[in-house]
């Protein structure tokens, strides 16, 4: 029995082709695995904008089931299918669960939208809403592109800009421009607006073609290396080759720094960065942190002013709670280090001293039978 159907076409607002797969997941494990394998083979065979939607008959984590059995091995297989194919789940608003048994005892989230990164790039702000159910045991879910305006966005600054002298000049020039406003706080605000606008324009013109520049430079380096395999390079050719390679690696490093800060990843792989992973982290963080609505007094609300007021009232109530009798820690005697011990912690040491210390520790462990 076929467990999915495919529709191929173009959206009215765009000339880009998309493929939508309507999924009805089997109940048995073997059927689910076969469906995922078939879908993976289909998606890898066609380069397009993919959207998988429908009832997958599987959950991703324990919190997506209520009063029903959660089997981690099944969830792990489902999550692996999503990760391996670069899919991103579009968050649901309205309700937490999409299926309700007739007796109202078992609840689960079996319906969802899974989109490829190419599909997400076609839309500014995708979200899904769970509607009230009527005759079916499943709630209908609606996919839409809707932007909720919460007002001006915060000033975002990338550390990589500090390594570029041109960026410093742009900021100094924008800050020095005359601004209107009588009060000092208004002057300060308007100056920040000027800096933000100037950096935004500069960033767009400087980094918009970064990927293409990296590709072109890498191709030139490969051409020089292939030429070096056939004959000895002249001094000027070798110098040009090394300069091109240095520019290429510098731009690769710039791209890695920008992606790492966007994704808040604190590490970078040696050699070429795994940009597909970093991009997936960025998309997951954006989908997770973006507020598309809020349940207020049992009703799903998407009005920006109502959402901000509800959040403000919530934290205002939290911080206005009257203090109660709480345990004090003033009578506790914590061990403290002496002044000499503090100096030892801040003592400068060399790499040789570290190696000697490690060897001494290893010998002590060997002598006590630890190794």
- State mean pLDDT over 41-48: 87
- State mean pLDDT over 299-309: 85
Choose one of 239, 274, 290: the last residue of a domain. 290
CATH of the domain at 45: 3.60.10.10
| Cα–Cα distance measured from residue 20 to residue 7, given in angstroms and rounded to the nearest whole number | 5
pLDDT of residue 276: 60
* All residues at 6 or more sequence positions from 340 whose CB lies less than 8 Å from its CB, including other chains: none
Is residue 198 a part of any domain in this protein? yes
Is residue 12 a part of any domain in this protein? yes
Tell whether 132 and 247 lie within a shared domain.
Answer: no
Q: Is the pLDDT of residue 363 over 70?
A: no
pLDDT single digits (tens) 89-122:
888 888 888 888 867 788 898 899 998 888 887 8
Is residue 110 a part of any domain in this protein? yes
pLDDT single digits (tens) 306-351:
888 888 888 888 888 676 777 777 777 778 888 888 887 777 767 6
pLDDT of residue 52: 92
Please, are residues 41 and 24 in contact by the beta-carbon 8 Å criterion? Answer: no
| Cα–Cα distance measured from residue 157 to residue 161, given in angstroms and rounded to the nearest whole number | 8
Is residue 75 a part of any domain in this protein? yes
Domain range for 165 is 151-207
pLDDT single digits (tens) 187-242:
888 888 888 888 888 888 888 888 888 888 888 888 888 888 888 888 888 888 88
Tell whether 181 and 264 lie within a shared domain.
Answer: no
Tell whether 79 and 90 lie within a shared domain.
Answer: yes
Is residue 21 a part of any domain in this protein? yes
Tell whether 177 and 192 lie within a shared domain.
Answer: yes
The closest of 79, 110, 113 to 97, measured between CA atoms, is: 110
Local structure of 142: helix, strand or coil: strand
Choose one of 290, 308, 325: the last residue of a domain. 290
Tell whether 220 and 257 lie within a shared domain.
Answer: yes
Q: What is the mean pLDDT of the chain?
A: 80
Rg (CA), the chain: 29
Tell whether 19 and 46 lie within a shared domain.
Answer: yes
What is the number of domains present in the chain?
3
**What is the length of the chain?**
371
Tell whether 123 and 74 lie within a shared domain.
Answer: yes
Tell whether 51 and 131 lie within a shared domain.
Answer: yes
Q: Which of the two residues, 132 and 354, has the higher pLDDT score?
A: 132
Tell whether 15 and 138 lie within a shared domain.
Answer: yes
Is residue 8 a part of any domain in this protein? yes
Is residue 299 a part of any domain in this protein? no
- State mean pLDDT over 135-146: 83
Tell whether 180 and 284 lie within a shared domain.
Answer: no
Q: Is the pLDDT of residue 131 over 80?
A: yes
Tell whether 18 and 90 lie within a shared domain.
Answer: yes
Among 85-89, 149-153, 271-275, 301-305, the range of highest mean pLDDT: 85-89
Choose one of 172, 187, 207: the last residue of a domain. 207
pLDDT of residue 114: 92
pLDDT of residue 270: 39
pLDDT of residue 253: 82
Is residue 50 a part of any domain in this protein? yes
Cα–Cα distances in Å, from 114 out to 87, 143, 284, 314?
6, 11, 12, 32
pLDDT single digits (tens) 4-16:
788 888 877 777 8
Q: Is the pLDDT of residue 370 over 60?
A: no
Tell whether 10 and 33 lie within a shared domain.
Answer: yes
Cα 37–282–8 angle (5° rounding)? 45
């Amino acid at each position: 029995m076929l467990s999915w159907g495919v529709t191929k076409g173009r959206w009215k607002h765009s000339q880009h082709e998309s493929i939508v797969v309507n999924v009805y997941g089997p109940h048995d494990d073997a059927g689910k695995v076969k469906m995922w394998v078939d879908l993976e083979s289909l998606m890898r065979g066609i380069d397009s904008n993919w959207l998988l939607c429908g009832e997958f008959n599987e959950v991703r984590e324990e919190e997506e089931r209520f009063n029903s059995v959660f089997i981690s091995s099944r969830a792990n297989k489902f999550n692996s299918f999503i990760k391996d194919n670069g899919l991103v789940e579009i968050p649901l608003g309205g309700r937490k669960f999409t299926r309700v048994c007739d007796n109202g005892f078992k609840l689960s989230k079996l319906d969802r939208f899974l989109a490829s990164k190419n599909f997400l790039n076609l839309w500014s702000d995708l979200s899904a809403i769970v509607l009230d159910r009527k005759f079916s045991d499943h709630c209908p879910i609606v996919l839409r592109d809707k932007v909720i305006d919460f007002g001006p966005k915060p000033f975002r600054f990338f550390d990589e800009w500090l390594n570029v002298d041109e960026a410093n000049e742009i900021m100094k020039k924008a800050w020095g421009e005359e601004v209107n406003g009588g009060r000092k706080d208004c002057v300060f605000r308007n100056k920040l607006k000027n800096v933000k606008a100037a950096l935004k324009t500069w960033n767009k013109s400087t980094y918009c073609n970064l990927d293409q520049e990296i590709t072109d430079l890498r191709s030139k380096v490969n051409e020089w290396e292939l030429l070096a395999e056939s004959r000895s390079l002249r001094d000027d050719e070798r110098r040009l080759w090394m300069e091109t390679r240095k520019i290429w690696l510098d731009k690769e490093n710039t791209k890695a720094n920008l992606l790492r800060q966007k994704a808040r990843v604190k590490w970078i792989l040696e050699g070429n960065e795994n940009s597909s992973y970093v991009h997936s982290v960025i998309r997951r963080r954006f989908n997770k942190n973006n507020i598309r609505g809020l349940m207020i007094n049992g009703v799903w609300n998407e009005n920006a002013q109502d959402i901000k007021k509800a959040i403000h009232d919530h934290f205002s109530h939290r911080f206005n709670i009257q203090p109660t009798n709480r345990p004090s820690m003033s009578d506790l005697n914590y061990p403290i280090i002496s002044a000499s011990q503090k100096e030892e912690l801040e003592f400068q040491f060399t790499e040789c001293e570290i190696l000697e210390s490690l060897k001494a520790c290893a010998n002590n462990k060997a002598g006590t039978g630890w190794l």
